[in-house]
């Protein structure tokens, strides 16, 4: 069996920046275990698979795998999938609707930008979070802790986010996927994302984290339209909008890196 794949850098206009995703178009689903093995072999934050959908209102069904687990939502690989469909596979309609484990996800092409309609996951403040989390993250002080899917830790400055040096072994023991965030200087907010429990010490740019960051910062800054930067080594830039209590928009550019073929 031969399968095609493309590798795309998402949430960036510069090659070798943003978040790389392996995109594998399928005509029909292959075995779950095989998809997980392919994701492990690719060893990227996500390998994404999609097939033509039979669901009313959807164009494709989509699934995302880290090297260790299947996850329920991934922004950068969805962005990369839309980019591949438009630039490599001849898709021409103004928007693409993906059916996923997190519901329907719409991606619209707007010039060089791809804008995704995603669920809004507003995190709520918590007081019960792992002991010593500031020391585990290598930050001075926790301003606030919040939770939706992931643990969101707010710190005082952009510099603290940038200079954090997590102890990934200790963080993995907490079982948490963690968002570190602060108000930005040249952008509205900045973040980093750590998920050693899912096989990713640090994810370069994380769309699903922004499903939580956008409602968090929209309320905090009293703004609907915002800009964001993820301060990983590769870095990434996003435009964001709180569209309603239920939906957010996040968008950015993509850069094509390579295409190839699996032979299994």
* Residues 11, 253 contacting (CB under 8 angstroms): yes
How far, rounded to the nearest angstrom, does the alpha carbon of residue 15 sit from its chain's CA centroid? Answer: 18
Q: Which residues pair with 165 in a beta bridge?
A: none
Residue pair 176/197 in contact (Cβ under 8 Å)? The answer is: yes
Q: Angle, nearest 10°, between helix axes 75-87 and 207-221? A: 110
Residue 46 among the catalytic residues:
yes
Report yes or no: 180 and 215 within 8 Å, Cβ to Cβ: no
**In contact, 85 and 107? CB cutoff 8 Å:** no
Catalytic residue among 46, 115, 154, 158: 46
Residues known to be catalytic? 46
């Amino acid at each position: 069996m031969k399968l095609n794949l493309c590798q795309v850098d998402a949430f960036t206009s510069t090659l070798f920046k943003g978040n790389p995703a392996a995109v594998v178009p399928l005509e029909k689903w292959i075995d779950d275990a095989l998809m997980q093995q392919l994701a492990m072999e690719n060893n990227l934050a996500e390998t994404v698979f999609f097939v033509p959908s039979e669901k009313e209102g959807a164009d494709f069904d989509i699934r995302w795998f880290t090297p260790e687990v299947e996850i329920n939502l991934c922004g950068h690989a969805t962005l990369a999938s839309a980019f591949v469909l438009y630039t490599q596979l001849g898709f021409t309609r103004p928007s693409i609707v993906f059916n996923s484990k997190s519901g329907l996800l719409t991606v619209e092409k707007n010039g060089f930008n791809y804008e995704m309609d995603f669920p809004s996951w507003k995190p709520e403040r918590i007081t019960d979070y792992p002991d010593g989390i500031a020391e585990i993250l290598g930050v001075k002080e926790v301003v606030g802790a919040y939770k939706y899917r992931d643990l969101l830790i707010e710190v005082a400055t952009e510099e603290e986010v940038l200079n954090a040096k997590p102890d990934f072994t200790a963080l993995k023991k907490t079982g948490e996927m963690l968002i570190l965030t602060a108000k930005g200087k040249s952008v509205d907010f900045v973040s980093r994302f750590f998920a050693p429990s899912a096989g990713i010490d640090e994810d370069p740019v994380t769309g699903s984290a922004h499903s939580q960051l956008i409602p968090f910062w929209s309320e905090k800054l009293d703004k609907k339209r915002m800009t964001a930067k993820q301060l990983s080594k590769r870095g990434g830039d996003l435009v964001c909008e709180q569209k309603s209590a239920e939906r957010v928009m996040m968008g950015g550019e993509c850069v094509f890196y390579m295409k190839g073929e699996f032979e299994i």
